[in-house]
Structure 1
């Protein structure tokens, strides 16, 4: 079955509800695909989401722990951050890896592109695999209180498998790397 090329939603009005340097929230009055009036909200992200799965030669990786304000809980994640839309996302990945862990990588592979919550947001995430690691000094932002933990990739995989890690970027990166490992392409 072919998917439709035309957008089945009709927009009758648009109202910006909120705007800051990182996001914009817009409310749409719509006619939905069944022909009924409705409302739709969209969160537009002004940056790309960037994730980095660092793997050293011994198959160790690095997690970053931090308290996530929105979740009101502590979270272990791969190094993550944002990149300006329209600039090279790999440069943002290199910057974030260095800022959060102090690591520099000589080999970079794009693992995955994904939309993080496509029912309410247009946020695009690009996840990279970083290899050929060298340790340098971390340069965290002043808003970040980070703990960096080195652990075997297999331990991280078990944490994801057991539901101990819920960050979607981390879950995706780890599962994709595990598939590549099983296919001998990692």
Structure 2
């Protein structure tokens, strides 16, 4: 057994929905004792740091039911089964913002909540943006307000809680460093 590895003894799916699967695993701990782990399985997502020619960050404001409020975020979306993350990012950028990028670069991937979920977000940098005349339609249950903000404005939004999620906070810090160069 690997150091700290927990061996799955049994697994029960409690819920299998459109976006997530909720599972409870019985595990054997490294010391031989047993425990239960409540896990969320997720297909993965993408997020896009979209920068205008004026060095403004393209953001979307939307209501997040889990938080019971609206927050401002970078464009993001769920990876469809079998879909390449970069293709997802290109699609989501157009659907959520109406932009297409002439420069699209992979930044990195990271776990969002590794204590209970396996969701991985693949982060991309989109530059040299152009508006799409007839952009692809977004999800019919998604209501979005588009914003373009300077790095200073986004830092203020982080301070006052309008930007509240980790992927967007990471994007703001990444962009701040990128603009220094």
Give the alignment's TM-score, normalised by structure 1: 0.87
Distance in 1 separating the partners of 2:121 and 2:155: 20
Displaced runs of 4+ in structure 1, greater than 3 A? 4-7, 161-164
Q: Tell me, yes or no, if the aligned pair for 1:112 and 1:173 is still in contact at 8 Å.
A: no
RMSD: 1.9
Which residue among 152, 156, 159 is the counterpart of 1:158? 156
Distance in 2 separating the partners of 1:17 and 1:80: 27
Task: Give the superposition deviation at 1:7.
Answer: 5.5
Flag structure 2 segments of 5+ consecutive residues without an equivalent. Answer: none
Deviations 1:8-56 (A, max 9, x none): 31322211111123211111112223332211111111x2211111111
Task: Give the superposition deviation at 1:119.
Answer: 0.8
Which residue among 60, 66, 69 is the counterpart of 1:70? 66
Which residue among 77, 81, 84 is the counterpart of 2:80? 84
Task: Give the superposition deviation at 1:161.
Answer: 4.9
1:15 equivalent to 2:27? Answer no
Deviations 1:78-121 (A, max 9, x none): 11111125432111111111111101110011122100000101
Flag structure 1 segments of 5+ consecutive residues without an equivalent. Answer: none
The SS at the match of 1:166 is coil
Task: Give the superposition deviation at 1:168.
Answer: 1.3
Q: Give the length in aligned residue pairs.
A: 179
Deviates more, 1:134-143 or 1:104-113: 134-143
Distance in 2 separating the partners of 1:91 and 1:81: 11
Deviates more, 1:160-169 or 1:21-30: 160-169
Q: 1:140 to 1:8 in 2, by over 3 A?
A: closer
Deviations 1:107-150 (A, max 9, x none): 01112210000010110101111101111245322101111112
Q: Tell me, yes or no, if the aligned pair for 1:51 and 1:169 is still in contact at 8 Å.
A: yes
